[in-house]
Amino acid sequence: MYELKRRPQSLSHSAFRKFESDPEEYFLQYLAANRPARQAQPNYMAIGSAFDAYEKAELHAALFGAGSNPEFEFQTIFEQQVEPHNRDWAIKAGKHVQEAYKFSGAHDDLLGLLHKSIESPQFEFGVEKEIDGVPLNGKPDCRFVLPGDDGRKVHVILDWKVKGFCSKHATSPSKGYALCRDGYEAAKPSRSHGKEHNQYLAYNHHGLIINTSYLEASKPEYADQTTMYGWLLGEEVGDEEVVMGIDEIVAKPAEPWPMLRVANHRARVSKGYQLELMRRLQRCWKAITTGHIFPDMTVEESDARCEILENMAAGLKSAGEEDEYFNELAWSAEEWAEARIRDTVTVLSNYGDPIGFIALRGVEDAAEIRKVAIKSRYRKQQLSYQLMESAILFARQKRFNSIFIIIPEAMIETVGPWLAKFNFTAKKPIIRDAFHAYGKPENGVKFVCRL
């Protein structure tokens, strides 16, 4: 079994999601001895953290009194969660989000529920706990307990989501919301304002009105995250009585700030889904603790893949950040999770030192080139041609119908002519927001070569 050079102490929701959607990326980020340099916090992540700081500080002051706990002062939370390079922008953007959240009425609704809580509401910054043999960690936003109208207690786990704030295109709320409200004043409200989603069916859960449908039917990612948060905060695995709340703030581009709507989701997570989630977490943790990182491969194949990835990580470390040895592309996790994937990596080396690689993944009947990279000091030696030719040969041997690559729109003029030499042609339409390099969404262009 492969002996890991580095091993995490626990699993977060984001790490678990990365393992399931892209185990190679998980290996590079969490297990390789020479992990890639941590990327600076992108602005689309900073906006959620800034809003979180405003909202938690205000709710805590309203419930427990201003200045009652220095840890919940706005500036303290803000500086803990928002990296310095984002602060000037995020402090204004976060305030805009909170003002929209309050304008919609969602803030007052939540504060009203928190005042009714029969246990002290919890606002957490970091929790670690072992659940059924799996050490988990997370940063739950809020937990409170309401008195039911039948004498039962209603436990609620709530999380905030800010979506599409930095996007060039309007973002829609996830399906199944109980209520969507505009966070801005307009002569003509949006079509969803004051309405429930057409798949929402109200259900009286001990006096709290929630969706009859379970949360996993609307958004499995939200079900996973809130369930894990619930477990960390003391809820039992499989307990269907716990209500998961998501306040989702979605954006539509406008100047100077986006127009925002707030969609409230209130639902439970089924016992069966929770038990399967725990089994998924246990499989993930077993793969990490045993070193059999790729369970769909034999032990020998998994060990060989780990060795290749370790060499790739070592190459990144020796090249230095400025060499951009990895052409890191922020692919959608859902895209990889839903694809039928086969994969291979070809590595060029110089007396054992990795100097370049090309990585492919099979998506149904096509092979996708996911990454191509050459160390800077070995460039302009036609090595990229060798890598591309090996990729095309591999794709033909595996009987793929085509091979394709998606590149940022801004790189068409530089990369396009090189791809044309291998009979790649650009396809329409442009893929919106295919990349999020440096915290900014960027369109992608798909180039295809028929085999």
| 163 three-class SS | strand
pLDDT tens profile 29-52: 899 887 765 667 878 889 999 999
Helix 271-290 to helix 13-21 angle (10° resolution) is 80
pTM: 0.72
Over range 381-410, report the average pLDDT: 84
The pLDDT assigned to 312 comes to 66
pLDDT band with cut points at 50, 70 and 90 for residue 334: very low
Per-residue pLDDT at 329: 31
In this prediction, residues 12-16 reach a mean pLDDT of 95
Compute CA 146 distance to the chain's CA centroid, rounded to the nearest angstrom.
Answer: 30
**What tokens appear for 61 in the block?**
């002051």
Q: In this structure, are residues 210 and 178 in contact, taking their beta carbons and an 8 Å threshold? A: yes
- What is the pLDDT, as a whole number, of residue 308? 79
**Distance separating alpha carbons of residues 422 and 408, to the nearest angstrom:** 19
Helix/strand/coil for 402: strand
Q: Which amino acid is at 240?
A: E
**In the chain, what are the domains?**
13-37+294-450 (3.40.630.30), 43-269 (no CATH)
Biggest CA–CA distance in the chain, Å, is 76
Mean pLDDT of 233-258: 96
**pLDDT in the model for residue 33:** 85
* Residue, of 45 and 338, whose pLDDT is higher: 45
Mean pLDDT, rounded, for 105-134: 95
Task: Please write the tens of the pLDDT for every residue from 310-330.
Answer: 876 765 554 433 333 333 333
| pLDDT tens string 201-225 | 999 999 999 999 999 999 999 999 9
Q: Which of 6-10, 26-30, 76-80 has the lowest mean pLDDT?
A: 26-30
